[in-house]
Amino acid sequence: MALRALTKKAVKAIIGTIDRLFHRLKGRILGPMFVKAGEDKKTFSGHRPALSLPGIYKQAAAEEGAQPNDRMLHSLATIAESYLDAQREATKAKVVHAVNAWVAQDQDSDVEDTLVDHLSPIWEQVTANVTKIVDTEGTAARNLGSMEGISKAAAGADVDDPYVFFITVRDNDICEECKTIHLLPNGKTPRVFLLSEVKGGYHKPGEKSPCVGGLHPSCRCTMTGILPGYGFDDGGGIKYVGKVDGLLHNEYVEQQLG
């Protein structure tokens, strides 16, 4: 007996369903300003700007007193869209393969229950992958937005290479990588870096440099700037120090010497 297989119409229906799912997802994450010609703008009716990548980027820039950079915003959206498109194509292949494998078995089992068993692990993995993409690109959007303001403030203070540090959430969930790189050994004082020392790509475990995109998916550390004259109190909070021995306090230099 010949093995059964999905018809071309069935494959087309599966692919169309996955395309629509990811199209709605991109609408929520990227927003209607990135709708391409011919795409259905109704897809974006549930879009919440503050929770989108453009919204995160714009809010971070505004909090630092800077205007969003449209070129940077477009680059962020393009990168995120590329990752989501790759995940969409991988999902199509996995779902079609799983359904085709079930059809080929020529079983009389309940269709709904059997397909759920076959597809649940796939959707769990897809959900995890998409969450990782959104978390990572969201962190990058937040820190790049902050960088706009940091650069602006540094230029106003005649600082060529701005000083930055990462605000950490010091709770039981902070990872060892964030503690080691973003904090001094006392576990409270933020470590200060030159902006040129912050990597623009993605962090690899074991590297000593901080990263605009965070140190890992779901990284909660946020980059911000610190100007000459400022330092930290015993609890790690920022404070104004002013001049010491006639020279303006420089926290970066003090940490390098200390």
Residue 81 lies in a domain: yes
Residue 175 lies in a domain: yes
Residue after which a domain boundary falls, among 132, 152, 172? 152
168 shares its domain with 70: no
Which pLDDT value is given to residue 84? 93
Residue among 234, 227, 224 at smallest CA distance from 251: 227
Report residue 1's pLDDT band, with 50, 70 and 90 as the boundaries.
very low
Is residue 239 classed as helix, strand or coil in its secondary structure?
strand
Find the range with the poorest average confidence among 18-27, 43-52, 70-79, 170-179: 43-52
pLDDT(33) > 80: no
Rounded to whole angstroms, how far apart are CA atoms 74 and 33? 10
Across the chain, which distance is largest between two alpha carbons, in Å? 92
Domain enclosing residue 193, as ranges: 159-257
134 shares its domain with 23: yes
Compute the CA torsion angle 23, 26, 31, 34 (nearest 10 deg): -80
Return the higher-pLDDT residue of 255 and 106.
255
Residue 2 lies in a domain: no
53 shares its domain with 137: yes
Percent of the chain predicted with pLDDT > 70: 90
Rounded to whole angstroms, how far apart are CA atoms 174 and 169? 7
58 shares its domain with 169: no
pLDDT(258) > 90: no
140 shares its domain with 196: no
pLDDT(207) > 60: yes
Burial category of 156 from C-beta neighbours within 10 Å (exposed 0-12, middle 13-18, buried 19 and up): exposed
Residue where the block lists tokens 């600082």: 159
122 shares its domain with 239: no
Report residue 100's pLDDT band, with 50, 70 and 90 as the boundaries.
confident
Residue after which a domain boundary falls, among 106, 127, 152? 152
* Contact present, 202 and 190 (Cβ < 8 Å): no
Residue 1 lies in a domain: no
177 shares its domain with 77: no
Return the higher-pLDDT residue of 100 and 37.
100
Rounded to whole angstroms, how far apart are CA atoms 187 and 208? 16
Which pLDDT value is given to residue 99? 85
116 shares its domain with 177: no
Residue 3 lies in a domain: no
- Give how many domains the chain has, as a whole number: 2
Which pLDDT value is given to residue 193? 96
145 shares its domain with 182: no
pTM: 0.78
Handedness of CA 237, 242, 244, 247 (dihedral sign): positive
Mean pLDDT across the chain:
85
